[in-house]
Amino acid sequence: MNNKYFPFLLPFRCLIFLLVFVTGSVITGRNPDALSNIWSVVASVVNIITILLLVIITRKSGGYAKLIRYEKGKTRPPQIVGMIFFILLTGMGGMYLAGFLCYGVLPYAAPMLIAPIPLWLAIGNIFVLPVTTAFAEDGLYLGCGVNQIKNKYAAVLLPAFFFALQHSFVPTLFDARYITYRFLSFLPLTLLLCLHYHKRRNPLPIMVGHAFIDVITVLQILATSAIPGFYEMMCAM
């Protein structure tokens, strides 16, 4: 599969996240900051939209599996376990380093990312967010980015840039330091994932590892949503 127009989809999620939060702010008459607690629900919806888009654009050229170059039987369990630990450690390291650079605090994690939401949404999102994020983000940035860009440097750098940048707008806060913090938090991980995929062309370990780290996030949101006072305790730590 080779479509020269696919890389132009790389900014898609950045734009749609920005559009959703700005539109929501206008409709509700509240600042985007006030909508930050529902970021995980917005992400799930945008993930579903992204997956549908990828399925539609690849329908006549081999489908989603061909887009990401999935090959049955290529992956061994140790590869998945290793990738889970790699994503977890690199993701946490990037987040803490960015927090120190931007806020001077170590360790630092943006508290609004685990803010409570209605309990039924928190429970439902346990099953939706991790899986849809892996299919949406890895399909877009690896499939439409790494696999479609011919220049070997651009094939890693451009998808990694937009892969990290999308996180600056989910949730959307018009604060330069926050935007920089979110971007820098993910850039080391996205660069290494795109580089790894460029060399191996095996998406499954990355997708499983990606889903695993999102399971941790949605479980934290579930805890703050279900346990009174837990969010305030986490913010005070």
Query: Any idea what DSSP says for residue 172?
Result: B
Nearest Cα neighbor of 140 from 126, 158, 122 is 158
- By CB atoms closer than 10 A (0-12, 13-18, 19+), residue 68 is buried
3-state secondary structure of 169: strand
Q: Which residues contact 149 (CB under 8 A, 6 or more apart)?
A: 7, 155, 158, 159
Predicted pLDDT at 237: 64
Nearest Cα neighbor of 70 from 81, 58, 82 is 58
Whole-angstrom distance, CA of residue 159 vs CA of residue 230: 37
Please report, in tens digits, the pLDDT of each residue of the chain (237 residues total): 568 889 999 999 999 999 999 999 999 999 888 899 999 999 999 999 999 999 999 998 889 999 999 999 999 999 999 999 999 999 999 999 999 999 998 888 888 899 999 999 999 999 999 999 999 999 999 999 999 999 999 999 999 999 999 999 999 999 999 999 999 999 999 999 999 999 999 999 999 999 999 999 999 999 999 998 878 887 766
Q: Which residues contact 60 (CB under 8 A, 6 or more apart)?
A: none
Predicted pLDDT at 10: 98
**Alpha-carbon Rg for the chain in angstroms:** 18
Predicted pLDDT at 222: 95
